[in-house]
Amino acid sequence: MKKRFIIYALLLSSMLGACKQDFLDTDPATEFSENTVWTDPALVGTFINQIYFRLDEPLTDGRMKANIVDEGHYRGNAAALNFNKSLMTPDQLYGWTVSRYRSWADVYKTIRFCNIFFSKIEEVPFTTELVDGKSTKDRMMGEVHFLRAYMYHNLISVYGGVPLITEVYGLEDEFEKERSSYADCVDFIVSELDKAAALLPLKHSGVNQGRATKGAALALKARVLLYAASDLTNTTVFPTYEKQELIRYTSGDRKARWTAAKDAAKAVIDLGEYSLYKATPAAGDNIPQNLSEIFINKSTSEDIFIKYFTTAMGQRFGLYTSPNGYHGWGTNAPIGDMIDAYEMKDGTAFSWSNPAQAADPYVNRDPRFYATILFNGADWRIRPDDAKGLDPLNKIQTGRWERWNNTTGKMEVVYGVDTRKSTIEDWNGSYTGYYLRKYIDPNNDAQYVRQSISWRFIRYAEVLLNYAEACIELGLDQEAKTYMNMIRKRAGMPDITETGLALKNKYRNERRVELAFEEHRFFDVRRWLIGPQTYNITTKVADIVYPMNADHSTATKPIVKHVNFEKYAWNDKAYFLPILRDELNKNSLLIQNPNY
């Protein structure tokens, strides 16, 4: 089997301290010292691997940004619920800090590693040999330009303008630095990605697969420019905030920004390196299965920048997210509001006010619903031995059955094996009546075996959607529909025909379902300025009952309703995160974000 480059390389675990310490935080007497690293290109590669390791993705930590927006719910939800009520403060970010790699301090620590690399790169004795058309030095420089850009993009997406630091500070240096304007940050990131694109190969071979490529640099550039052209950074949301340049553009032509975003996405398309996976379903194809394979296969034609795993790496996402009836932990459970976003198979909106749809809410929906969601009655994998008698049909059970007990002469209620009143690990059951199917390998017993599904940081469908969005904003409706309909064709959905505002709304829902649980919705809600519509809600969950009939038999078809659950609340301050007080105390030049 051909070897792949694995970011969490087991071969390097001793040098990485089993992922518990940073590569340079080592004892020179027993490990590789900092000075040694720069004498060997192989060790430099290991150093870069650690930067990849520090990219924020949910498969390792197990909990998604979906839980702090209108996609998912974490059963241990106190912090996420506080975040969803806009209660974050300079002393507490609540659900944002589930992954330490999201924090201001840790992202800057990763940026420091990038800066160390650039300060040392000229010392490394590289050869002139070319691999995939690039020298090792150029390829590594391109990777680190890309990674530094990625980190700064993560920062400005939640903080606005931040200090741009490209040098390595020593103990005697002045550490205080003011925030750069949002515009300057975007320009810096784009410059970094242009440098990366020029240095990186179109594709990697052999053990280098999984590293950043030219396409990854151009695709991230397209995302950065899309965000930069969006409402949040082109609108006066906080009119009394004195430092507007930190959170938005204060000059320039917005149409030019949309054009730049459009052109950047088209540059990726024009590379000809990527295509939608199974773009044209054949007659009789199982389309939900096709769609599921995008997130289960190690790699596909759609991958632009992904992270590979092995079962030994510690990825426990399958365990974290699977139903409790399979001894899973029920994390990242879709909420009813997300379920309702999936259209009917004919392209019309789903509505609980439609009697036929309400009677069978899981029938004839967008195939992406079946590829993404585990719902009551959904076929799934064989149950573990202790649950086989409770579910001989291997179907998800999130409902309850009213059954007559002839012995007592009374009705009793029997709860499904995947509910919070199950006889199997009820504390791990979903509150919502749904579980996530996306990213879960049905052939893997997550109770015992760690799955090795790849994480897609960037895939081709996002690029097509980014291009379509920029086209819509520029009034190029037909061009936008051409690319949106490519995605819908793959999903087995009818073409979009709307124009104007209706097309824009259709696009936003299309993006929501196509990229569901891929860490996009959190940012889309903010850059579109739809916080009030998204968070000023009472979330919905499924209530599912198989009622007892008059003859004391139990109905075989359930009654399904969505009922009120948790109440969220929106405050405009939540368009940006607060800079923590610890950081403000370290750097007196920092200016806090508005309304904190």
495 or 444, which is more confident: 495
Whole-number pLDDT of residue 12:
35
284 Rama class: left (phi>0) / alpha (psi -120 to 50) / beta: left
Decide: 590 and 579 in contact? Cβ < 8 Å: yes
Would you state the structure tokens that stand for residue 479, as one six-digit string?
Answer: 């061009």
The pTM (predicted TM-score) of the whole model is: 0.93
> Residue 396 in contact with residue 377, Cβ under 8 Å?
yes
Q: Mean pLDDT throughout 73-101?
A: 93
Separation CA 463–CA 268 (nearest Å): 7
Q: Answer yes or no: is pLDDT of 18 > 60.
A: no
**Element holding 532 (H helix, E strand):** helix 531-535
Q: How many residues does the chain have?
A: 596
Give the domains, in start order, of the chain with CATH numbers.
1-58+100-247+576-596 (1.25.40.390), 323-440 (no CATH)
pLDDT of amino acid 401: 98
- pLDDT tens string 499-532: 999 999 999 999 999 999 999 999 999 999 999 9
32 confidence band (pLDDT: 50, 70, 90):
low
Of the candidate ranges 129-133, 324-328, 386-390, the one whose mean pLDDT is the lowest = 386-390
CA dihedral sign of residues 556, 561, 565, 568: positive
Check residue 8 and give its pLDDT.
35
Distance CA 128, CA 73 (A): 52
* Rounded Cα gap, residues 370 and 342, in angstroms: 10
Distance, CA of 207 to CA of 210 (rounded, Å): 8
With tokens 């950074």, the residue in question is 233
The residue-averaged pLDDT of 446-471 equals 95
Which residues are 374's β-sheet partners?
435
Model confidence at 430: pLDDT above 70: yes
**The pair of three-digit structure tokens given for residue 500, joined into one six-digit string:** 């104007």
Q: How far apart are CA 12 and CA 18, in angstroms?
A: 9
Q: Which two tokens stand for residue 589?
A: 């030049």
Strands (E), 128-263: 130-131, 134-135
Segment 559-565 mean pLDDT: 98
Strands annotated E in 406-534: 410-415, 435-436, 455-459
Q: What angle do CA 78, 82, 88 make, to 5 degrees?
A: 135
Indicate the residue type of 81. L
pLDDT digits (tens, 9 = 90+) for 307-330: 998 876 667 899 999 999 999 999
Can you give the pLDDT at residue 27?
A: 40
Please give the DSSP secondary-structure letter assigned to residue 403.
E
Longest C-alpha distance within the chain, in Å? 86
- Measured CA to CA, the distance from residue 442 to residue 378 in angstroms comes to 12
**What average pLDDT does the structure give for the chain?**
93
| Residue 278 backbone class (left: φ over 0; alpha: ψ -120 to 50; beta: rest) | left
The pLDDT value given to residue 99: 81
Higher model confidence: residue 1 or residue 96? 96
Average pLDDT over every residue of 110-130:
97
Burial (Cβ within 10 Å: 0-12, 13-18, ≥19) of residue 467 = buried
